[in-house]
A and B are shown apart, each in its own frame.
Chain A
Amino acid sequence: MEQKIREILFYLSIILFFILVPVILLYSFGYNLDINRLRIIKTGLIYVKSIPDRAKVYLNGRHINKTTPVSIEGLMPGEYKLSLELENYYPWYQEVEVESGKSTTLDDIILFSIKPHLDKINISNVDDFYIFSADKDYAYCISENKTAIYRTRLNPKEKEASLLCNQLLLPDNIKDFSLSPDKKKIFYFYGNRLDVIYLASEKANHQQIKNNNFPIITNHRIVNAFWYSDSKHIVIMTDKDIKIYELISEDKDNIITILNINDKHPKAFYNIAEDILYFTDVQEGSDGKLHRGLYRLDISKRSLLTFIKDIEENIK
């Protein structure tokens, strides 16, 4: 009896195998039965994933009763109008090309909220703010009356701001602010003037914070300025020359001109990690004409040492 049942099971398994293999293989490779024309056709699919998920999916305007992430299979080759809808989010729409045997993946759809999440991250009133690469977790805010600088964390849960400097009188035409790598000083410049502000530590008593403002006046318009990596020098680029300003103490300084330039509007980038200045300038070429070129000025400590070594070798 068992052997009979076993035989039946065996042959049923074989039949099942020969039925399932073509059905599953055809499905896997994207073949579908076109009931209207009674023939097998090769279809394509669209895979849709959105952030956030659970968005309703419409294909050619018809809701397909599925939400993202979803794979829409058995699609005849051609162009489809695909749209996603989610409550409180802007709808998304795109025309999608489906090819036979191919899958079209749309897995980077972002649905933006109609009611964006807005947080105030600062308790004080702010006229302007700067986020410096030297201190990316904080915003340096200028008070509404432009007399003080606060520092506040870029986290709405920590709204506390610390006063870094007050009794200032910041002009309206400031071109740029820059924080020193040691986070203890800020300079700003406008016209031919650059001011260095020594910041108070967060622990300092607010009563002790006073205007530590030391102006540097140059003969020419300041185009750009950069902190040197040691936080004790500033590279100043005017429309006539490049100067290096040394902060000796809070009331003493030292300034040298290291290069004259011809470009009235030079573009500049300072690589603080290597202390190299890249800038444009106009120089006379071998053809006697003026050419605007890109230059590299290495003022790193390492290059200065190499330079001395080269001189010593020449003397020998």
Chain B
Amino acid sequence: MKEDFDLSKRAFEIIPAFISWSILLIFVLFAFLRPKVYALLIITFDIFWVIRVSYLTSLLSFAHHRLNKEKNKKWLSLCMKLSDPRSQKIYQAVIFPVYKEGLDVLVSSLDSLKNTNYPKEKMIVVLAFEDRIRDSREKAKVLESRYKDSFFAYLSTFHPDGIAGEARTKGANATWAAKILKDFVDSKGIKYEDVIVSCFDADTCVEKEYFGCLLYHYLTVYKPLQCSYQPIPVYNNNIWYAPSFARVIEIAASYCQLIDSMRLEKFVTFSSHSMSFKTLIDVDYWPVDKVSDDSLIYWKAYIYYNGDYRVVPMYITVSMDVAYGRNLLQTFFVQYKQKRRWAWGIEVFPYVMLNFKENKLIPLEKKLRKTFHILDSHISWATWAIILTVISPLMMLFSSYLFKGTVIGFNLPRITGVLFSLTNITVLLWMALSLTLLPPKPKELKFRARIKIVTQWLLVPIIMTIIGSTPALDAQTRLALGKYMGFSYTEKKRNRF
């Protein structure tokens, strides 16, 4: 039985990379063996891509519009107006899994909690340190002295290293902290369903109305226990100081979340997210042996509730740090590793498939849709930029040989060129939208910083070529080869690049 399970698991680990590599190889092989079929494929793909990007850009505009509309809402007042007795009872528990983040990063995150308008006597803050990190206890002591009286409870937890069955992941640390939080909640006689737990990256800074917004959604959605609550992550903490290259990539990441917030059937938890504490306990916390704890918690709950679980988008931002290095090359590697870690989210595929196989209560149609969504997003990610920016232009070099003296040989470069340019036009809209998501320019920065933040979008074709698909293809290939990734820490910087 176990052997069957292992074999199925390996098969599901191989499938995404197999499909991605097959797509890429099909394009290259057809180019040389059946050039006309290649031309047909590449034109069809380009049309598909132009329409898809236009469609996604329109979703982005809708989501962006919604974000702007809800920006100034007084969520907490709206909660009071609901006259729901639960609104007085709900505790907000926030877990910050900490690795090597410095005090400057942690203080700004905790200060942002302190500055929220949510009643502090209903807030529990858990700083989840890794015991193996040398200065964890010193940092905990400093922070405790500063924040212990700021909230209903302020807890520091120290996740021991080497617990059987655990990997060195953020999820393992968060789970350890959540279990200690459970003991605390039990000791205070608080019901689990009266606690909303948020698991935030250590650099996450929330807006003043964040918990009001979270409470409002918790009180108003259908089956609140069967929902995760997802804010829109933006990377504004240090965006004015980050290099253009990294800024564009992180803004694009925010855009992906905004787009997915409009596609609820595809929407899964990402990075900082919130959920009912009861649900967290029921689904047995975050996974302790996987890197992608943020998305896997959604899938755990989805399977636990037999497909009756969803992610509710909250059009309120949480701000995090842009990851970058000391120079452009280091920034490239930092970004590449971070994106590869995100793309490692494909590890949910075997987990979901194996559980779908076991679970007979989830309708087949739902299973098929979810399977398609996982594969679609990860395989598109691993292939589109390579097809558009590497295979297509490379084949143009051989076009005079492949399509000698034919109408298609003459038309192909022109048509693919026009379609690619149409895709790039959407970049103008992304640029315009990005300006409205920006925090105010720090006074010490000159006007040219503003010019750079506009012109940085010219880098999009280069970024697409070098970091568009390769991290995802890399992650899928590693999974297929059984070279499992561990959690890689992304250094947080607040100083100028």
Q: Which A positions have Cβ atoms within 8 angstroms of B?
A: 2-3, 5-6, 9-10, 13, 16-17, 20-21, 24-25, 27-30, 43-45, 47, 71, 73, 101-105
Contacts and interface: CB of A to CB of B under 8 A. Distances in A.
The listed residue with most B CB atoms (<10 A of its CB), out of A24, A44, A101, is: A24
Contact of A5 (B39, B51, B54, B62): B62
21 contacts: A2-B262, A3-B262, A5-B62, A9-B59, A10-B55, A13-B51, A17-B48, A21-B43, A24-B47, A28-B39, A28-B43, A28-B407, A28-B415, A29-B408, A30-B407, A43-B407, A44-B407, A45-B410, A102-B407, A103-B405, A105-B405
Contacts of B407: 28-30, 43-45, 73, 101-103
A102 B40 contact: no
Nearest to A45: B407
Interface in B170-196: none
Contacts of A9: 55, 58-59
Interface in B14-55: 36, 39-40, 43-44, 47-48, 51-52, 54-55
B411 A28 contact: yes
B323 to A, nearest CB: 31
Nearest to A28: B411
B436 interface: no
Contacts of B410: 45, 47, 71, 103, 105
B262 A6 contact: yes
B264 interface: yes
Interface string B207-231: 0000000000000000000000000
B409 A24 contact: no
Contacts of A104: 405
B89 interface: no
B51 A16 contact: yes
B58 A21 contact: no
A43 B411 CA distance: 13
B72 interface: no
A17 B51 contact: yes
Nearest to B407: A30
B83 interface: no
B47 A21 contact: yes
B66 interface: yes
A99 to B, nearest CB: 9
Contacts of A20: 47, 51
B412 interface: yes
Contacts of B47: 17, 20-21, 24
B327 interface: no
Nearest 6 pairs of A and B residues by beta carbon: A30-B407, A103-B410, A28-B411, A13-B55, A13-B51, A29-B408
Contacts of A24: 43, 47, 415
A47 B407 CA distance: 10
B495 interface: no
Contacts of B415: 24, 27-28
B145 interface: no
A101 B403 CA distance: 11
Contact of A30 (B40, B52, B263, B408): B408
Contacts of B66: 2
Given A13-B54, A17-B51, 10 more contacts: A6-B62, A13-B52, A17-B47, A21-B47, A28-B407, A28-B411, A29-B36, A45-B410, A103-B405, A103-B407
A73 B55 CA distance: 32
Interface residues of B, number: 27
The listed residue with most A CB atoms (<10 A of its CB), out of B36, B48, B55, B263, is: B55
Interface in B393-430: 405-412, 415
A47 B409 CA distance: 12
A25 B51 contact: no
A28 B408 contact: yes
A44 B407 CA distance: 6
Contacts of A44: 407
A24 B58 CA distance: 23
Contacts of A25: 40, 43-44
A17 B51 CA distance: 7
Contacts of A2: 62, 66, 262
Interface string B117-132: 0000000000000000
Contacts of B409: 103
A103 to B, nearest CB: 4
A27 B36 CA distance: 14
The listed residue with most A CB atoms (<10 A of its CB), out of B51, B262, B407, B412, is: B407
A42 to B, nearest CB: 8
Contacts of A45: 407, 410
Contacts of B39: 28-29
A23 B40 CA distance: 12
Contacts of A47: 410
Contacts of A10: 55
Nearest to A42: B407
A55 to B, nearest CB: 20
Interface string B55-98: 10011001000100000000000000000000000000000000
A24 B412 CA distance: 10
A16 B49 CA distance: 12
A97 to B, nearest CB: 12
A21 B409 CA distance: 18
Contact of A102 (B48, B52, B62, B405): B405
Nearest to B262: A6
Contacts of A21: 43-44, 47
A25 to B, nearest CB: 6
Contacts of B262: 2-3, 6
A175 to B, nearest CB: 49
Nearest to B263: A6
Nearest to B415: A28
B411 A27 contact: yes
